[in-house]
A and B are shown apart, each in its own frame.
Chain A
């Protein structure tokens, strides 16, 4: 039985197709301005990847900031709910789940069934989220994909205040002027985001295991900074950006079973 989950994120649309709990296909497309086109494009590439037709799907569940914009959805689930289901299916021991996407950082506590017990979401500023690293990479004139590896070369702590994405950029400029190396600045940026995320997670009281998902989990520099800040090991799945879509697909599977 095929089902699909579609995660309409702020920057990317992600789709996961499941066949009896097995991942059969994935698809991704930039969100852009035309949400319909983005949803269809990610969805079609997932169908192609799975080698099935749309009619083969029994149920489609949407999640993410644009979850209500998916015309072909059967049901929807909140980002927090999808994150819990997805993370628990990959790491059943997860009790604290941290998700950092393009525009939002979230943390939640879950029981062993993926039921959300409590959650927090970052406030107005995107300084604790992925869009912030993109802005900082631009300031350093390096591709955002290289930020992680670059920061791992640094062994030095440089204090930086990431309360606001705009002010932080001017801090980066000051660091550049004071001849701080790019490695050290890259690490300072990841440390600052990690510190902001950790302080949000601490509001929940952290229970092990901790699992990190969302696009920013692909940045190895940020993952290191977060581990250091929380002073514990963190689970990171292979495709951390698809976990929300996976969670939505698992919800779709349950709904399909219920008929």
Chain B
């Protein structure tokens, strides 16, 4: 069952096209996980996250400055190459300027019937953020109603919330299995599971996660666990890299990525009254992206808890080249982890992963963790 997630990941475009044919529904591509999918699901829209393909490309140079992160350029390249030609709409929630540039370039050069910029507040720690976001969600809901021609009722919103919450609960359960001394799934498999949830009909995805959880109860991996690692960074679906790290004698047991745990960590706590307020609260409270984690650095204790609860012996910090918000957090994350006896390895990612060079570093890092006294 668990192989399904990789199949979905590999065939994400075919899946979306077939979904459209089958349901006659609309597909919306989104650029950032602060997009409130609950409202889209309430209108029976399929939200899919726009991600890169990790291939060198030469089409974004006229549109995005070379010193913007490789991820935002890779995303735009997918649009310019026509790989998302089935989209009926695109949207972004404000996070960083780099990915917003990908969104605005897409809007300009690859026009779609619906495009929406949601001004998600950056200062989520302010008490004014909640009423602000709630008001923005009301406007957004109206825009979706206008686009789809469908009125979104309270029942629709409840359905959207429950579809999202169920998927989040199940993914948390799947991550919990990795706390075991012998995790029943590899970090690569967990990555495919989490990131495919951003591409597939949520209910269908949840059903397969539910089935997989049964399988995981008795599953044993063929390779020994080795060093237990946490990976930390922005978006990360560098499967080649993860595979290499795990083949060097380690298992990635948990992550802090927006393609991973940050995406599904917390639920919408709805009391059946003010639904939009409940949704807004969820996005204000979720494990933060560093663009929004100011002035208190709430990410740090969260990461420390993950490291403790999943019992990691080392941390790999994966940085997208030129990603300023994450760069700002790296010194304090490294310091805090290392003061708690968790060594860190810092690596900077470009669109393609230089596996040979990274492997040298990863092997040396793991050798260091094993603390083998060689004399």
Contact = CB atoms under 8 A, between A and B. Distances in A.
Interface in A60-104: 65, 77-81, 85, 104
Contact of B364 (A80, A123, A124, A251): A80
Given A80-B367, A81-B367, A116-B367, A121 B375 contact: no
Contact of B348 (A115, A118, A123): A123
B375 A250 contact: yes
A139 interface: no
Given A77-B374, A79-B360, A121-B364, 16 more contacts: A78-B364, A79-B364, A80-B364, A80-B367, A80-B368, A85-B374, A104-B360, A113-B374, A114-B374, A117-B368, A119-B361, A119-B368, A123-B348, A124-B354, A124-B357, A250-B374
A113 B375 contact: yes
Contacts of A80: 360, 364, 367-368
Interface in B349-365: 354, 356-357, 360-361, 363-365
A65 B348 CA distance: 20
A113 B371 CA distance: 11
Interface residues of A, number: 21
B373 interface: yes
Interface string B239-277: 000000000000000000000000000000000000000
A121 B367 CA distance: 15
Interface residues of B, number: 16
A31 to B, nearest CB: 15
Contacts of B373: 113, 115
Closest 5 CB pairs of A and B: A80-B364, A78-B364, A116-B368, A78-B363, A81-B367
15 contacts: A77-B367, A78-B363, A78-B367, A79-B364, A80-B364, A81-B364, A81-B367, A115-B373, A116-B367, A118-B368, A121-B357, A121-B360, A121-B364, A124-B357, A251-B374
Contacts of B361: 119, 121
A94 B360 CA distance: 22
Interface of A: 65, 77-81, 85, 104, 113-119, 121, 123-124, 250-251, 254
Contacts of A123: 348
A81 B374 contact: yes
Contact of A114 (B348, B365, B375): B375
- For the residues of A in contact with B, the DSSP-based class is mixed
Nearest to A61: B374
A87 to B, nearest CB: 13
Nearest to B358: A121
A78 B364 CA distance: 6
B364 A254 contact: no
Contacts of B356: 65
Interface in B324-375: 343, 348, 354, 356-357, 360-361, 363-365, 367-368, 371, 373-375
B332 to A, nearest CB: 16
A81 B371 CA distance: 11
Contacts of A121: 357, 360-361, 364
A65 B359 CA distance: 10
A79 B368 CA distance: 12
Nearest to B338: A118
Specify which of A80, A117, A250 lies most central, judged by the most chain B CB atoms within 10 Å of its CB. A80
Nearest to A116: B368
Nearest to A119: B364
A77 B364 CA distance: 8
A27 to B, nearest CB: 23
B375 A116 contact: no
A254 B375 contact: yes
Contacts of A79: 360, 364
B118 to A, nearest CB: 36
A254 B357 contact: no
A83 to B, nearest CB: 10
B354 A254 contact: no
B62 to A, nearest CB: 24
A104 B361 CA distance: 12
